């Protein structure tokens, strides 16, 4: 193709595009045709930084769940107020998977307060501690030394609670973080219930109240928790799995009765 024919073909193509309505050529770089025309005699100014680019990020405040639990527990003046504080505590995920809070059973002001580990399935459903098979065994153990959670006489009555008020999934063992987080509530619970002696049922109760584990080594030896004499004992659920340990449990019950008879 000679130059004349090529030029005529290009002109014809441009004429055809003009008839279609094209009035501007399109380059490879985008052009903002709404922007103010640039004055070549005026020096360019840097665009102001956006607020998002200049703002200093503010870190979210760190919440200490143990400190918050301690403050809420300290503010509770009586047992109903403590229960309300525990209901409103939002930092323990166990609450999300539980049916309800398991607070206590028995008679407040009883000489003996039993501290267990955590609610199981039956406790979660009924809202009371120690109501399943382990609870039935506990009632028989207490009756053997003249105690009853429903007794009207404070000298024969018992008061019962747990380290954790919500059921762990699949009845798993509570974690050290959960025990520490909810520790202020059970310690305040003991203060408000004001028992004469504590019975700590199982490893978790000993860990939460004594800061120690190893129930086989601790059981039967009086210690001190929350300013009160405390007797570690095997958990009734352990006794159901290991009937041979009932001998040691009976010795511990006799030690409890001797202490009460003082």
Delimit the domains of the chain by residue range.
66-261
The confidence score (pLDDT) of residue 63 equals: 83
The pLDDT, as a whole number, for residue 143 is 97
Residues 127/166, Cβ–Cβ less than 8 Å: no
Given this model, what pLDDT does residue 50 score?
59
Strands (DSSP E) along 103-261, which ranges?
Answer: 105-106, 112-116, 158-162, 197-201, 223-225, 228-233
CB 170 within 8 A of CB 126: no
Question: Residue 88 and residue 156: Cα distance in Å, rounded?
Answer: 33
Q: Which of 225, 204, 182 is nearest to 85 (CA)?
A: 182
Structure tokens at 9: 């073909």
Give the homologous superfamily in CATH for domain 66-261: Uracil-DNA glycosylase-like domain (3.40.470.10)
Cα separation of 172 and 259, whole Å?
Answer: 33
Judge whether 127 and 101 are in contact, CB under 8 Å.
yes
pLDDT tens track of the chain, all 262 residues?
555 677 777 777 777 666 665 655 666 666 666 666 555 566 556 555 555 555 666 665 688 999 999 999 999 999 999 999 999 999 999 999 999 999 999 999 999 999 999 999 999 999 999 999 999 999 999 999 999 999 988 889 999 999 999 999 999 999 999 999 999 999 999 999 999 999 999 999 999 999 999 999 999 999 999 999 999 999 999 999 999 999 999 999 999 999 999 8
């Amino acid at each position: 193709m000679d130059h004349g024919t090529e030029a005529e073909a290009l002109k014809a193509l441009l004429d055809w595009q003009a008839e279609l309505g094209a009035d501007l050529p399109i380059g490879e770089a985008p052009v903002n045709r709404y922007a103010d025309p640039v004055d070549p005699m005026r020096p360019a100014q840097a665009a102001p930084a956006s607020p998002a680019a200049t703002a200093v990020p503010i870190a979210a405040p760190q919440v200490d769940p143990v400190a918050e639990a301690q403050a809420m527990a300290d503010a509770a003046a009586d047992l109903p107020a403590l229960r309300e504080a525990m209901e409103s505590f939002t930092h323990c995920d166990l609450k999300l998977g539980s049916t309800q809070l398991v607070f206590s059973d028995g008679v407040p002001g009883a000489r003996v307060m039993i501290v267990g580990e955590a609610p199981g399935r039956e406790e979660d459903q009924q809202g009371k501690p120690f109501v399943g098979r382990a609870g039935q065994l506990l009632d028989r153990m207490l009756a053997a030394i003249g105690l009853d959670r429903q007794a009207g006489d404070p000298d024969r009555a018992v008061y019962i609670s747990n380290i954790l008020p919500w059921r762990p999934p699949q009845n798993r063992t509570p974690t050290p973080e959960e025990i520490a987080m909810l520790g202020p509530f059970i310690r305040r619970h003991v203060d408000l219930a004001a028992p004469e002696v504590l019975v700590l049922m199982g490893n978790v109760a000993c860990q939460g109240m004594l800061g120690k584990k190893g129930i086989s080594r601790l059981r039967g030896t009086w210690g001190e928790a929350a300013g009160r004499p405390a007797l570690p004992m095997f958990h009734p659920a352990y006794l159901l799995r290991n009937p041979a340990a009932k001998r040691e449990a009976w010795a511990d019950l006799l030690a409890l009765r001797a202490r009460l008879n003082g």
